[in-house]
């Protein structure tokens, strides 16, 4: 398997805090059957000081970590990229080698969990027309999307791609997020599953147990999400998509589910 979306490089963002932690995380990744790890360092996130993070800096840290994991016998290949925090400057930064995957063909973009920026679709569309396809990071964790899945349906029909966090399927972010994650898989609305690993404790690699759940929902198509598509991402090939399965559930189904779970006992 290939893990697309994690923070494995030590001391660059809110991910791994040491070389030892990175090695512990990668040992767990290897145990789960992960052969390639696509690191996604936070880029321009307002809560992190990543102003000096550039491709050369990240490449040096990646190469040092790769040398160490080769030395200790961990059979994993590292790749570098970024998780871009959404700002309306996507066209300005797209030439930055760090923020693009597949020779600039794809960009992983995250939102705040309780907000969708105004007019973001306009800037997504500009990016798409310029040849760089937006990949929306863990939208199942966004409370606005949780209450109206149709927002995500429209974004997928606009040509954007979806990355789901493995931890969402495992309930790490609560039952609302877990139910939304399963619903997205049932409706073929996911193109990548990534661990979003940050440390060697509660947010370690968890791709294998998440894939087991996903396989029970969508069968062997899950292999596309953790093998074929991330490999195509690395090489800049077209991503495999499945037709969205239309749902008989009303658009406010998740809102009702949210209210049910939050209702005092």
3-state helix, strand, coil in the chain (%, to 5): 45, 15, 40
pLDDT at 46: 81
Burial of 37 (0-12, 13-18, 19+ CB in 10 A): buried
Q: Check the CA dihedral 166-169-172-177 and report its sign.
A: positive
pLDDT tens-digit map of 132-180: 999 999 999 999 999 999 999 999 999 999 999 999 999 999 999 999 9
Residue 138 near residue 182, CB atoms below 8 Å: no
CA atoms lying within 13 Å on the CB side of residue 215 = 9
Q: Summarize pLDDT for 81-110 with one digit per residue, the tens.
A: 999 999 999 999 999 999 999 999 999 999
169-176 contacts: CB < 8 A, separation 24 or more? 169/193, 169/210, 169/213, 169/214, 170/206, 170/209, 170/210, 170/213, 172/202, 172/203, 172/206, 173/141, 175/261, 176/146, 176/254, 176/257, 176/258, 176/261
Q: What are the residue ranges of helices labelled H in 135-228? A: 143-147, 150-157, 166-169, 175-186, 207-218, 222-223
Task: Provide the CATH number for the domain around residue 115.
Answer: 3.20.20.140
Q: Let me know: does 161 contact 136? Beta carbons within 8 Å.
A: yes
* Host domain of residue 231: 2-262
Q: Kindly provide the residue ranges of all beta strands, DSSP E only, lying in the chain, ordered along the sequence.
A: 2-4, 36-43, 77-85, 106-110, 133-137, 161-165, 192-194
The count of domains in the chain is 1
Find the radius of gyration of the CA atoms of the chain.
18
In this prediction, the residues of the chain whose per-residue pLDDT falls under 70 are 49-52, 248-265
- Residue 265's pLDDT is 41
């Amino acid at each position: 398997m290939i893990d697309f979306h994690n923070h494995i490089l030590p001391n660059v963002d809110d991910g791994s805090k040491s070389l030892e932690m990175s090695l512990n995380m990668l040992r767990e990744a290897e145990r789960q059957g992960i052969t390639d790890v696509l690191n996604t360092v936070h880029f321009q996130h307002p809560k992190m000081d990543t102003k000096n993070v550039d491709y050369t800096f990240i490449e040096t840290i990646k190469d040092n970590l790769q040398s160490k994991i080769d030395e200790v016998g961990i059979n994993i290949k590292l790749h570098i990229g970024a998780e871009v925090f959404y700002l309306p400057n996507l066209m300005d930064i797209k030439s930055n080698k760090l923020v693009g995957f597949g020779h600039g063909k794809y960009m992983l973009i995250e939102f705040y969990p309780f907000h969708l920026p105004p007019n973001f679709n306009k800037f997504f569309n500009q990016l798409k027309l310029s040849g760089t396809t937006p990949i929306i990071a863990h939208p199942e964790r966004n409370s606005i999307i949780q209450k109206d899945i149709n927002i995500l349906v429209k974004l997928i029909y606009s040509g954007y791609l979806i990355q789901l966090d493995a931890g969402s399927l495992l309930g790490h972010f609560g039952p609302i997020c877990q139910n939304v994650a399963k619903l997205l898989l049932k409706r073929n609305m996911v193109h990548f599953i990534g661990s979003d690993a940050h440390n060697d404790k509660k947010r370690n690699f968890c791709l294998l147990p998440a894939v087991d759940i996903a396989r029970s929902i969508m069968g062997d198509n899950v292999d596309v999400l953790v093998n074929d598509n991330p490999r195509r991402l690395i090489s800049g090939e077209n991503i495999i998509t499945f037709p969205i399965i239309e749902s008989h559930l009303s658009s406010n189904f998740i809102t009702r589910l949210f209210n049910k779970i939050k209702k005092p006992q």
